[in-house]
Amino acid sequence: MTLSRVKIATGPEVAYMDTGGAGVPIIFSHGLFMNHSMFAPQIEEFSESWRCITWDERAHGDTAYPRGHFTSWDSARDLLALMDALGIDRTIHVGMSQGGLLGMRAAILAPRRFVGIVQLASQAGKLAEEGAAAFKAIIEEWKGRGATPDKLTFLTDLILGPGVDAAYWRDYWKTLTAAQIDDAVSPIYSLDELYDRLHEVVVPVLTIHGLADVSTPYQRAERVAKEVPDPRGIALIEGGPHAVNLSHPGKVNAALHTFFAELSAEDPTIKR
């Protein structure tokens, strides 16, 4: 399936893939330094039964965007603008890491547009102070010296973890320019905590997290699952790294199947 492009009201020209079909679509939003293709195991699993859409966020993949820093709230508005551009009234959203950050904010901004959201390897906090300085130093060195072997190893360990074929992603990371990297990390650096606003996330929320996630400790995901008004369970996956949907697709897909079936039982009109 080839990428399509659409200009959205918030500025970017978004590159996306749409499997087509009727019913409420599932929109998948990727994590930092990833792109739409990270959800290949989920598209393969669900595209026969659901309309599935993946997209490249600002500073990632093939999306063209106005250069400059942006926030997770800007990305949330990009998601809503993409829905507008594609004529989508409501969606089920699956957000991995940074994709979950923007998804939760979009659900706060426009709750009626979400049948449910999945927080995959995500959280409601901000960059931990103890790791912020070291992370920023690594990013600055990457911008200055390029994707050296040690940087590629760092990214592989931080994002992919064991059990994921890193070859494609290492090649992709080599293509990122210093400007792209600088913009891509800006939402993480400016991130505001949402713990005091979790009561505003009124849509059903499924939480999925790997217990071996070195990027985002699973305890942060547990807190979200406990404090949102309509939690629909938490799937903690033994040995799962940050990109747990790639390392353990069967277990992630099983949790998604259960959630989607629950939403469909509550509102049969969402299923095509």
Q: Report the relative pairing of strands 52-55 and 13-18 from DSSP bridges.
A: antiparallel
- Between residues 126 and 110, which one has the greater pLDDT? 110
Q: What is the pLDDT of residues 65-93, one digit of tens each?
A: 999 999 999 999 999 999 999 999 999 99
Q: Measured at the alpha carbon of residue 74, what is the angle toward residues 72 and 80, in degrees to the nearest 5?
A: 105
Whole-number pLDDT of residue 2: 86
Name the burial class of residue 105, with classes exposed (0-12), middle (13-18) and buried (19+) by CB atoms within 10 angstroms of its CB.
buried
What mean pLDDT do residues 174-201 have?
A: 96
Whole-number pLDDT of residue 223: 97
Q: What is the pLDDT of residues 25-79, one digit of tens each?
A: 999 999 999 999 999 999 999 999 999 999 999 999 999 999 999 999 999 999 9
CA-wise closest residue to 188 among 125, 232, 260: 125
Share of the chain above pLDDT 70, in %: 99
What mean pLDDT do residues 236-246 have?
A: 98
- Give the domains, in start order, of the chain with CATH numbers: 4-270 (3.40.50.1820)
Pair of tokens at residue 40: 């290949």
Name the burial class of residue 74, with classes exposed (0-12), middle (13-18) and buried (19+) by CB atoms within 10 angstroms of its CB.
buried
pLDDT band at 159 (very low <50, low <70, confident <90, very high): very high
Q: What is the mean pLDDT of the chain?
A: 96
In this model, does residue 212 exceed pLDDT 90?
yes
8 A C-beta contact, residue 237 and residue 209:
yes
Whole-number pLDDT of residue 108: 98
